[in-house]
Amino acid sequence: MSTVSLLGLSAALLLAGALVSLVLGGRRKASGWASVGFVGAAGVALWAVVVRTFSAGPDPEVTLLSLPAIGAGFVVSVDCLSAIFLAITGTIGFLTTLYSVEYMTRYRTDSVAKYYPLLQLLFAGIVGVVATGDFVFFLVFWELMTFASFFLVTFEREVRANQRAGFKYFVVNQAATFGMIAAALILWTRSGSFRFSAMRDALGGLVTTQPALAHLVLFLFFMGFATKAGILPMGDWLPDAYPAAPSGATAAFGGTMTKLGVYGLLRVFLYFLPLSPVTRTWGLAIALAGAVSLFVGTLTALKQDDIKRLMSFHVIGQVGYMFLGIGLGLFFLPSNPTLAALGLLAGTFHMINHSLYKSCLFLGAGAVAFRTGTRSLSALGGLRAFMPATAMYALTAALAIAGVPPLNGFASKWLMYATAILGGKAFPLFAVLGIVAMFISLVTLASFLKYLGSAFLGPPSPLRGVREVPASMLVPQAFLALACVVFGLVPAWPLAFVHRALTGLASAASLPRLESLLGDGPGLQAGSDLVRVAFWAPLPIAAALALLGLAAYFLIQRAAGAPVRNVPVWTCGEEAGPELSRYPATSLYLPFKRAFQGIYPSIHLRAPAFPSWLRRAFDLDAWLYLPVARAVEGGARAVSRTHVGIPQVYLLWIVVGAIAVVGIVLAFLG
């Protein structure tokens, strides 16, 4: 089957799934399992597109629908970059839907009819965004995605905070989208077409003739995508909106939707924008924006007590890393192809890694909330004893995001540091940014040690009856955690696909070959053919660590055969229960957190007050239903007052009635 028909099939499956799950909305599990089936089948179709695109090369563009009046058309265009996003969407989409089946039983009053259909529309929107080659339809799918996710954010209608978060999300993202529409229109006035290739020509012309206007266009695109990705300060909506959605949807947002900001960035700056000095300027801007985001976002995350809010701030921080890597790559693109390739690979690979571990972390946080009913770190503790599998996956993903070698987070961060430090020779600021990024990587570690230490380790919390989550919630976490390990141990494998995706973009077509960049051995040896300057070989390191650790355990620790005894925690002779001797999460790193107080001014976007007459006009209860109901009720009461229950009175009424009837009849006849 061709790419177009496979994509059509997956879209049809997602839409059919939305419909079926809507019809089945009254039956939680049935609706969920139906969605799993449809999303899974769509995922298989998407993976077929991915395999086809990478093995046989991208199919030529197909125009399904043409609107010559405005120069738009529904162009299906899947290149290797799109394919990577399709693979992520197919995988994460399926896993989060599977996870949701059990998770959604948590909501007793809210119907799943407003969850599964929207989740599948969200996936359909994402597929549309990455598979289209025309900006009008790009925006259509972009908006579909925004609408679906808006309703997922405001899923719990009774919670006012969630409503506010959803409103903020909607307003901020719509504003950003309007900017992108303006940018697209500026380009359209030049070329008269919304096709990506035409927009590329138009932008290329602008860069040489009207650089100021070109910068404006790029700025508007950048704002649009950075807002979706969660780059600060535009990403301020993110830590409010993400925790509000059900955990399955949050994981889908973190794993797929945020990443479309990165997709857009790559598409605009590596395809729309021809290689020029402008690329360099914007590379610097993007790198700086990324650095600010990773610094402020991650330090703010350290202070959070709500698990999902903590992780949402880390989304901002991690997106900062991606922007830093891509920014570095763009900066060096005109001058130093080797460093450019390393930076772009780092940013894009980090995006894939982030999809894996952040989805896993959100699912784990959801599992904790599912069993304990709370997301507050101060209220949790000792869950490892009751939820060992969830704890293990959370540990893996947490170490991966903190960049502990040899997990996947380290591989992409290593590439990024290498680019930043080596690029520091040409542009010293980048060395400083690299150092900042390494420092922030430690802050990430601190933050996730707090999560692990407070939720899973330590004395058990007073919560009772906590047990492991069902298998259908564990399998997605297990898969993602395993993927974190595999991508960490053999980074060369995913990097080969990323490299193909990047060189498929017109402005990056002349990047050096992968073997020239990273060597052809199993380990990564960054540099050029002439000189290798950075080394990271995960397999030998992991093997040595395992070997030395085992040797230390069996040849040293167990050699003397010391007896083992389990004892209670020593509290200095004081009889203190776990409630008294707990060290709460809020106390961790207090002096450090104080040092960075006030780094994140929180913005409270208020919903504007509707004009009162308009609200009254919409308030049908007040002026239609209630008055009518009151009139009906009053009338009924008046009638009922005549019913006194005394036979004589009824007889009297009959007599009076009969006389009246006779009188009327006589009057008419006469």
Partner 1 sequence: MNTGLLWTVGLAVLSVALALLLAPLYEGLMRKLKAAIHSRIGPPITQPYLDLFKLLGKEDLRTAGGLLYTAAPALSLGSVLLLALLVPMGARPPFAFAGDIVVLLYVSAISAVLLMLTAFGSGSPYASVGSSREMMMLLSVEPVMVVALVVGALKAGTLATGDIIAWQLEHGPTISMAIAGIAFFLALQAQAGKLPFDIPEADQEIMGGPLIEQSGPRLALFRWAAWSKQFVLAVLLVEVFLPWPGTGVFALDLVLTLVKAFVVLVVVALVDVVNPRLRIDQAMQYYLRVAFSSIAALAFAVIGM
Q: Binders of partner 1 among 395-434, rule CB under 8 A?
A: 395, 399, 402-405, 410, 414, 417-418, 421-422, 424-425, 428, 431-432, 434
Please check whether residue 65 is in contact with residue 74, taking contact to mean a CB–CB distance below 8 angstroms: yes
Q: Spell out, one character per residue from 571 to 590, where the chain touches partner 1: x when CB under 8 A holds, - when not.
A: x------x--xxx---xxxx
> Whose CA is closest to 170, among 149, 141, 140?
149
Please check whether residue 510 is in contact with residue 337, taking contact to mean a CB–CB distance below 8 angstroms: yes
Nearer to partner 1 by Cβ, of 20 and 301: the residue is 301
Q: Is 622 in the site for partner 1 (CB under 8 A)?
A: no
Q: Is 457 in the site for partner 1 (CB under 8 A)?
A: yes
Contact with partner 1 (CB under 8 A) among 509, 551, 624, 665: 551
Rounded to a whole number of angstroms, the distance between the first and last alpha carbons of the chain is 90
> Whose CA is closest to 52, among 63, 60, 40?
60
Q: Is 598 in the site for partner 1 (CB under 8 A)?
A: no
Q: Which residues pair with 72 in a beta bridge?
A: 67
Window 8-47: residues binding partner 1 (CB under 8 A): none
The least distance separating partner 1 from the CB of residue 266, rounded to whole angstroms, comes to 25
Contact with partner 1 (CB under 8 A) among 548, 654, 658, 661: 548
- Binding segment toward partner 1, per CB under 8 A, in 16-24, 381-389, 465-473, 619-627: 381-389
Q: Is the dihedral of CA 376, 378, 382, 384 positive or negative?
A: positive
Please check whether residue 5 is in contact with residue 59, taking contact to mean a CB–CB distance below 8 angstroms: no
Q: Is 599 in the site for partner 1 (CB under 8 A)?
A: no
Please check whether residue 512 is in contact with residue 337, taking contact to mean a CB–CB distance below 8 angstroms: yes
Q: Is 379 in the site for partner 1 (CB under 8 A)?
A: no
Nearer to partner 1 by Cβ, of 161 and 539: the residue is 539
Q: Is 446 in the site for partner 1 (CB under 8 A)?
A: yes
Which DSSP letter does residue 552 get? Answer: I
Q: Is 666 in the site for partner 1 (CB under 8 A)?
A: no
Nearer to partner 1 by Cβ, of 132 and 372: the residue is 372
Nearer to partner 1 by Cβ, of 15 and 542: the residue is 542
Residue given tokens 């991650």 in the structure block: 298
Could you tell me the two tokens for 606? 């208020």
Q: Is 488 in the site for partner 1 (CB under 8 A)?
A: no
- Secondary element (H or E) of residue 189: helix 160-191
Please check whether residue 323 is in contact with residue 437, taking contact to mean a CB–CB distance below 8 angstroms: no
Cα separation values, 407 from 72, 145, 411, 489, 544, Å = 44, 31, 7, 7, 15
Nearer to partner 1 by Cβ, of 255 and 382: the residue is 382
Contact with partner 1 (CB under 8 A) among 60, 68, 568, 608: 568
Contact with partner 1 (CB under 8 A) among 30, 44, 537, 605: 537
- Secondary element (H or E) of residue 74: strand 72-76
Q: Is 615 in the site for partner 1 (CB under 8 A)?
A: no
The least distance separating partner 1 from the CB of residue 581, rounded to whole angstroms, comes to 5
Q: 302 in helix, strand or coil?
A: coil
Contact with partner 1 (CB under 8 A) among 592, 610, 623, 653: 592
Contact with partner 1 (CB under 8 A) among 550, 649, 661, 664: 550
Rounded Cα distance, 413 and 431, in Å: 14
Q: 571 in helix, strand or coil?
A: coil
Please check whether residue 41 is in contact with residue 33, taking contact to mean a CB–CB distance below 8 angstroms: no
Nearer to partner 1 by Cβ, of 74 and 386: the residue is 386
Question: Do the strands 72-76 and 524-527 form a parallel or antiparallel pair, or are they unpaired?
Answer: unpaired
Window 323-362: residues binding partner 1 (CB under 8 A): none
Nearer to partner 1 by Cβ, of 60 and 561: the residue is 561
Rounded Cα distance, 463 and 586, in Å: 19
Rounded Cα distance, 340 and 537, in Å: 22
Nearer to partner 1 by Cβ, of 261 and 409: the residue is 409
Contact with partner 1 (CB under 8 A) among 558, 615, 616, 630: 558
Please check whether residue 116 is in contact with residue 155, taking contact to mean a CB–CB distance below 8 angstroms: no
Q: Is 157 in the site for partner 1 (CB under 8 A)?
A: no
Q: Is 482 in the site for partner 1 (CB under 8 A)?
A: no
- Residues near partner 1 (CB under 8 A), total: 82
Which DSSP letter does residue 525 get? Answer: E
Q: Is 545 in the site for partner 1 (CB under 8 A)?
A: yes
The least distance separating partner 1 from the CB of residue 538, rounded to whole angstroms, comes to 8
